[in-house]
Every structure is written in structure tokens, then in C-alpha cells.
């Protein structure tokens, strides 16, 4: 059985990592807040859409039972009946896509190392559709600077810079290790990226919104680094 990390377990397990990251359950202010803002700006400045995370052979994959399955709800979320993905915000062509429609789009796969803010890492292969390909269909307008991801897992969400969201290794993933995504890992659809820490990769995805303003995030609003790059 996969390792399960509920909100309470995650908070307890991340306590040491939070201290190292300079974050707790309250927004950071003063010197630490200024340093956090500086770090965020520095991360954004050095980010390159051309830099690819190294891909690994399938033989490097972590046994799936040892890859933690994390969710915010006290119990694993149930997939809503008639689930679909809404793509909206500042776009010319708002869309609602079923899983079958997403599977009809050009797919891609990658096997990369996952990095968690707690300090652990694991390797898995992911397959799905590049977010940049979905964006081409939706047609983001000129003022878009951020992308917001929303979940049916107790309202979990995160917002990203547009560059990271359009990175070639940022996927809307519907599969893991050659099979359909399991519920514990975010089924039916999750964000997966080789350029972000795990808490930025929203599982149980329901909405992708292209926006002009940064809307923060579930953990980011509690002090976690907003950029969250690897």
C-alpha cells in the first residue's frame, strides 16, 4: 500500500523543513519575509524555460508503494461524478475537457525525480499532455502572467508564474508508471512538473485559470515559498 500523507501528517512531518525554509502556519514578516521575497525574485530571475531536468531510465523508478500519496482531506478524495477540467480566465477560448478529450490531445511522457519540501525525493514516470499545448487551444490573452490550478481536494490550489507553467516538462498528467493515475496520486488528473517542488503540483485537478494576478496558494499563503522551484 502506498504511503499516505494527510494534512495532519504532512504538517507534523514538515515541521523541521518549515523551520529550514523559514515558514510556519503564519505569513512571514520582517527580515524573514524580506528574505523570502528576495529568494522568490531570485528564483524567478534565474529560471530558464530552456533548462530541462534530467530524465532517468524506467529502471530508476522508485517502487510505487514507497512513493508517498499526499492529500489535504482527512480521507482520500472521491472523484466527482462526471468529472471534467475547466480551462478559463483570460483566454479567448474557455474550455471544458473530459478525460477522454485530454487523451485525444498529443501526449508526452517523462521519467524524472520528484522533490518534496520535506527533503525526500523519489522517481516516477508520468504521462499526459503538456500544459503549453492546452494553452495553445485556449489562447491566453496578452495580460496573462500567472496560471492558477484548483483541486477538488478540500479547495487546494496553487498559482504559478507563466514561464514555469509553459515549461516543456510541465504536464497535465493522467498516468503514472505506465498505467492510469491512481486516486492516491491525484486521479483523474494532476499537475506534474520537473521544475517545481511537490506542493506546487496540484492533484485532483478541476480548474486551470490563466490570470493577470498571483492568487497565492494553499501552502504558499501559510508561508511556503511561492515560486517553489527545483
Does 187 or 21 have the greater pLDDT score?
Answer: 187
d(CA 40, CA 21): 12
- H or E stretch including 10? helix 7-13
**pLDDT of the residue at 4:** 60
Is residue 202 scored above 50 in pLDDT? yes
Is residue 47 scored above 70 in pLDDT? no
Is residue 70 scored above 60 in pLDDT? yes
What is the pLDDT averaged over residues 40-62?
A: 73
Domains and CATH numbers, the chain: 4-222 (3.90.420.10)
179-200: burial string, b at 16+ Cβ within 10 Å, e else: eebbbbbbbbbbbbbbbbbbbb
- Write out pLDDT tens, residues 8-42: 444 434 433 333 333 333 444 443 344 444 345 54
DSSP calls for 51-88: PPPPP--GGGPPPGGGS-EE-SSSSPPPPPTT--EEEE
What is the pLDDT averaged over residues 81-94?
A: 98
Share of the chain above pLDDT 90, in %: 76
**pLDDT of the residue at 48:** 62
Is residue 114 scored above 90 in pLDDT? yes
Amino acid at each position: 500500500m502506498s504511503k499516505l500523507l494527510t494534512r495532519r501528517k504532512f504538517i507534523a512531518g514538515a515541521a523541521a523543513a518549515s523551520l529550514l525554509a523559514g515558514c510556519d502556519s503564519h505569513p512571514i514578516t520582517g527580515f524573514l519575509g524580506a528574505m523570502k521575497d528576495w529568494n522568490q525574485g531570485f528564483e524567478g530571475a534565474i529560471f530558464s524555460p530552456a533548462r530541462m531536468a534530467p530524465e532517468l531510465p524506467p529502471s530508476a523508478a522508485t517502487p510505487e508503494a514507497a512513493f508517498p500519496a499526499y492529500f489535504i482531506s482527512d480521507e482520500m478524495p472521491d472523484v466527482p461524478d462526471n468529472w471534467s477540467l475547466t480551462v478559463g480566465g483570460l483566454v479567448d477560448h474557455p474550455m471544458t475537457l473530459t478525460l477522454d478529450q485530454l487523451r485525444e490531445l498529443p501526449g508526452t511522457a517523462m521519467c524524472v525525480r520528484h522533490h518534496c519540501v520535506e527533503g525526500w525525493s523519489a522517481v516516477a514516470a508520468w504521462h499526459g499532455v503538456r500544459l503549453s499545448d492546452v494553452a495553445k487551444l485556449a489562447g491566453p490573452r496578452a495580460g496573462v502572467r500567472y496560471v492558477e490550478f484548483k483541486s477538488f481536494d478540500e479547495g487546494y490550489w496553487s498559482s504559478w508564474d507563466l514561464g514555469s507553467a509553459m515549461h516543456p516538462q510541465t504536464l497535465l498528467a493522467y498516468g503514472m508508471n505506465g498505467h492510469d493515475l491512481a486516486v492516491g496520486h491525484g486521479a483523474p488528473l494532476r499537475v506534474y512538473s520537473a521544475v517545481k517542488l511537490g506542493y506546487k503540483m496540484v492533484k485532483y485537478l478541476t480548474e486551470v485559470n490563466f490570470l493577470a494576478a498571483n492568487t497565492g496558494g494553499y501552502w504558499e499563503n501559510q508561508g511556503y515559498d511561492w515560486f517553489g522551484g527545483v
